Amino acid sequence: MINNKKLISIISPCYNEGVAIYDCYEAIKKIFSEKLIDYSYEHIFCDNSSKDNSSKILRELAEKDKRVKIIFNGNNFGSQKSIWNSLKYTSGDAVIMFLPIDLQDPPELIIDFVKNWEKGFDFVYGTRDSRQESLTMRTTRKLFYKLINLGSSNKIPMNISDYQLVDKKIIKEMLDINDLTPFIRTIPFFKTDNHKKLSYEWKRRKIGKSKTLFGTLFDTAMNGLVSVTNAPFRLILVSGFILSVLSIFYAFYNFIYLFFFRPDIERGIPLLIVALFFFSGVQLLVMGFLGEYLSSIHNQVRNKDKVYVKETINFDD
């Protein structure tokens, strides 16, 4: 019997999520059996070399349900690279690019994603307008998106997440990009302006512990800056210009002050020390930003960040 239902691909990265995998699987299964009965789906779990029992659970699910497809990576490449690599394995008419296994992003939102996609939108994206997290993290994220938009030709919505439904024609365009470490959530905006926003509350994790450390968040943020915007270079240029102008005025002020009042020269030593440390810090900041861009180019040329897939299950060869 020919299946004429549209296929929705769902990608869920996994690293040591053994306690949460089954709940995620059941949530998707329930949605498509009760609310999206006119659609078929494939649930792609990409495992980043988990050290717990995730592999065992995933194999059991794939054995009993062929809609569950597994990608076992040879190492922990992180969620962003895993998602990007998993897009190559999708066969759906539309793709949910990132459904976290911890279900902090509500799986029931997929229903609204699909409804809006059927209205003709090329992609539908979620924004975490309400977050159950600390004020410090919310403020940091807000500053991050403002910095990204400062030097980007395509403005990225505040609090956008990777939780998006993207039409297969946009996925095809995305995969033509030769980038091993893209900032995935922003790429559809550079491919089409036919999109729709859906807001939702990002909830606290109820089961298991988060595997996202500060270093991972920082790496993702720097990758976003390098991939999307030239704002760091513009800030450096503007800062350098302002500092140069201020230095000229300050030098002129000191010349007048010394010429007319002749103060004790030793009074300027503390100021000299402060200026020395300040400009040294500015130089290190500039070198740091340059290093990030050069490192990104270096890794791209050498294919250093390419994801190695060890095994796949339930994919047609």
**So where are the chain's domains?**
6-229+304-313
φ/ψ (deg, to 5) at 158: -65, 140
Q: Could you tell me the pTM of the whole model?
A: 0.76
Q: Are strands 195-202 and 123-131 parallel, antiparallel or unpaired?
A: parallel
- Which pLDDT score, from 0 to 100, does residue 13 have? 94
Q: Tell how far CA 247 is from the center of its chain.
A: 39
- Which pLDDT score, from 0 to 100, does residue 218 have? 63
Residues of the chain with pLDDT under 50: none
- Which pLDDT score, from 0 to 100, does residue 182 have? 78
- Which pLDDT score, from 0 to 100, does residue 217 have? 59
- Which pLDDT score, from 0 to 100, does residue 283 have? 74
> CA end-to-end span of the chain, whole Å?
21
- Which pLDDT score, from 0 to 100, does residue 147 have? 72
Listed residue (42, 43, 46) closest to 7, CA to CA: 42
Instruction: State in words which class domain 6-229+304-313 has.
Output: alpha beta
How many C-beta neighbours within 10 Å does residue 52 have? 14
Q: Tell me, what amino acid is at 199?
A: S
